[in-house]
Amino acid sequence: MAEQSLDTLVARVVDTGNCSGCGTCALIDRGLEMRLSADGFMRPVRERPGTAPAGAARRFATACPGMTVRGQHHDGIPYHPVLGPVAGAWEASATDPEIRRRGSSGGVLTALSAWLVESGEVAQVVGAARAQDEPRRTVPVRIVSRAEALGSAGSRYAPVAVCAQEGSSDPAGATVGKPCEISALRALADHDGTTAPLLMSFFCAGTPSQHATQDLLTELGVPAAEPLSDLWYRGRGWPGRFTARTEQGRQADTSYDESWGAALGPTVQWRCKICPDGLGESSDLTAGDFWRSDERGYPLFTESDGFSALVARTERGLDVVQRAVAAGVLTVRPITADDVVAVQPSQRRRRRTLLGRLTGARAAGARIPRYSRFGLLPLGAHHARESLRTARGTFRRVRARRTPRP
Ligand SMILES: Cc1cc2nc3c(=O)[nH]c(=O)nc-3n(C[C@H](O)[C@H](O)[C@H](O)COP(=O)(O)OP(=O)(O)OC[C@H]3O[C@@H](n4cnc5c(N)ncnc54)[C@H](O)[C@@H]3O)c2cc1C
Ligand code: SF4
């Protein structure tokens, strides 16, 4: 069978709603640009003739998370059925109080980024930060100093295509990205037979639409035309508040529960709802919130000093964490994989019900990406009744979406 062109494959991923907006296709072919779509997500658009050499379509088909994602298993490293590979797990925070405060939870990814670039261990860290000219927007950035790392601290619940940034696949660098971005970079390096950058990720419940940011601002009394001097989604406390500052010096803010929970989270794109990897399995190390929880295991969002759950996935990740602790960059307390999963009830549920969601979507005629080595079958079978209920619900929702209204 003749090889399909890169553009044909990209169009199919976008048209089927399986694009995560990671930007890997734009890294493979510089004639593609990542642009905001009408519904507020990053999508590839052909701006110039293709720049990719022969074999680009094959590289894309191996790496694009809208086509395929492979779970990672490493010799000698235990694989947890929900958390994935675990070479080590800790409750962790940045030792530097300013970094800890600015970070989403414990400021761990920022502390590591600052240390890695300042010590010269990596040439740069690629990550994400607010756009300088429009704080409502989020852009990929290249970090080469502590100050730049601090500028990218804190989660931004909005679309950004980190892989499209120059340097995101540089073996001499490090990249912080969403699990889909990190799995794409890992797959690309495996396909090319090159060394991946140091890959750092975080637990991810999905990318909300860019429109949700302005809708929330409008609710808070900040119109679209009002220039902002800053906007952050959380951090500067744990979990911190969604906060916008206008150029006039006015501040509008709301709680994490009201922003992520009520306004942003409900708008995540379809691909994120069928993601097999909310926990960053392809990374060398992953950070998430190490929430304090109530007696039923539900996270409490009372403000306090932040703690991250930090999981080393590979020997390389383990080595980086151990050296960062020895250098006084991170303060850690060992925990187990089960301790991490216990405070992430929604990630636990997502993983358990994914087989049902995929089955329901397929039965309703949706085209879904190929996932392998995530152990979804035994996990789904173990929770058969929940899987069946989820499959029925997804089938109904997908069919309703696909059936044209009269
Ligand atoms: C869209 C999204 C969904 C998330 N969902 C969950 C969840 O379900 N459960 C959970 O425990 N944690 C979730 N997090 C992660 C959590 O908010 C923290 O990032 C994590 O606890 C690590 O905290 P930290 O203080 O170590 O990171 P920080 O030191 O604050 O560093 C944050 C890093 O993330 C990068 N970054 C920020 N926004 C983005 C973005 N949109 N895309 C790519 N990179 C970005 C920055 O470059 C920075 O390096 C989510 C984050 C995002 C962006
Ligand atoms: S998922 Fe990533 S690589 Fe695939 S089409 Fe979308 S942006 Fe491109």
Tell which atom from ligand 1 comes closest to the C-alpha of 234: 17
Q: Measured from the CA of 164, which atom of ligand 2 is nearest?
A: 7
Mutation to probe ligand 2, out of 19, 34, 62, 181 (largest number of atoms < 8 A from CB): 19
Asked if residue 54 is part of any domain, the answer here is no
pLDDT digits (tens, 9 = 90+) for 324-357: 999 999 999 999 999 999 999 999 999 999 999 9
118 and 181 both lie in a single domain: yes
Report whether residue 37 contacts ligand 2, using a CB cutoff of 6 Å.
no
**Residue 116: nearest ligand to its CA?**
1
CA distance 24 to 161: 8
Is the domain of 323 the same as that of 367?
A: no
User: Ligand 1 pocket by C-beta < 6 Å: which residues?
Assistant: 103-110, 113, 127-128, 138, 152-157, 160, 162, 176-178, 202-205, 207, 235, 287-289, 308, 344, 347
Answer yes or no: do 149 and 280 share one domain.
Answer: yes
Residue from 20, 169, 181 to probe ligand 2 pocket by mutation (most atoms less than 8 Å from CB): 20
Domain that holds residue 83: 79-209+267-343
- Is residue 72 lining ligand 2, measured as CB closer than 6 Å? no
**Whether residues 85 and 189 fall in one domain:** yes
- Judgement on whether residues 195 and 328 belong to the same structural domain of the protein: yes
Which of the listed residues 343, 360, 384 is the one where a domain comes to its end? 343
Sign of dihedral through CA atoms 387, 391, 394, 396? negative
Asked if residue 162 has its Cβ within 6 Å of ligand 2, the reply is no
For 97-102, which contacts have Cβ atoms below 8 Å and span 24 or more sequence positions?
Answer: 98/150, 99/149, 99/150, 99/153, 100/305, 100/306, 101/235, 101/236, 101/237, 101/306, 102/150, 102/153, 102/154, 102/235, 102/236
Q: Ligand 2 atom 8: the closest Cα is on which residue? A: 25
- Find the 269 Cα to ligand 2 centroid distance in Å: 13
| Alpha-carbon separation of residue 12 from 18, 233, 242, 244, 303 (angstroms) | 9, 32, 35, 37, 44
Q: Do the domain assignments include residue 16? A: no
Determine the Cα–Cα distance for residues 23 and 33; give it in Å rounded to an integer. Answer: 8
Q: Which distant-in-sequence residues (6+ apart) come within 8 Å of 377 by Cβ?
A: 355
Atom of ligand 2 nearest to the CA of 13: 5
Whether 323 is covered by a domain: the verdict is yes
CB 272 near ligand 2, within 6 Å: no
Quick check: CB of 354 below 6 Å from ligand 2?
A: no
Cβ–ligand 2 distance for 332 under 6 Å, the answer: no
CB 179, CB 160: distance < 8 Å? no
Handedness of CA 125, 230, 96, 103 (dihedral sign): negative
61 lines ligand 2 (CB under 6 A): no
Domain finish residue from 343, 362, 381: 343
End position of a domain, from candidates 310, 327, 343: 343
Tokens standing for residue 63: 């790496």
Backbone torsions φ then ψ of 225, nearest 5 degrees = -80, -10
Question: For residue 274, is it within any domain?
Answer: yes
Per-residue pLDDT of the chain (406 residues; tens, 9 = 90+): 456 899 999 999 999 999 999 999 999 999 999 999 999 999 999 999 988 888 999 999 999 999 999 999 999 999 999 999 999 999 999 999 999 999 999 999 999 999 999 999 999 999 999 999 999 999 999 999 999 999 999 999 999 999 999 999 999 999 999 999 999 999 999 999 999 999 999 999 999 999 999 999 999 999 999 999 999 999 999 999 999 999 999 999 999 999 999 999 999 999 999 999 999 999 999 999 999 888 777 788 888 899 999 999 999 999 999 999 999 999 999 999 999 999 999 999 999 999 999 999 999 999 999 999 999 999 999 999 999 999 999 999 999 987 765 5
Same domain for 191 and 121, yes or no, is yes
Q: Which atom of ligand 1 is nearest to the CA of 347?
A: 8
Please indicate, yes or no, whether residues 104 and 165 belong to a single structural domain of this protein: yes
Say which residues have a Cβ less than 8 Å from residue 383's Cβ, sequence separation at least 6.
352, 353
Quick check: 193 and 79 in contact, CB under 8 A?
no
| Amino acid sitting at position 251 | Q
**What is the Cβ-side half-sphere exposure of residue 34, based on CA atoms within 13 angstroms?**
23
392 and 277 part of one domain: no
Number of domains in the chain: 2
Instruction: Classify each residue of 112-132 as buried b or exposed e, where b means 16 or more C-beta atoms within 10 Å of its C-beta.
Output: bbbbbbeeeebbbbbbbbbee
Q: Which of 98, 86, 105 is nearest to 281 (CA)?
A: 86
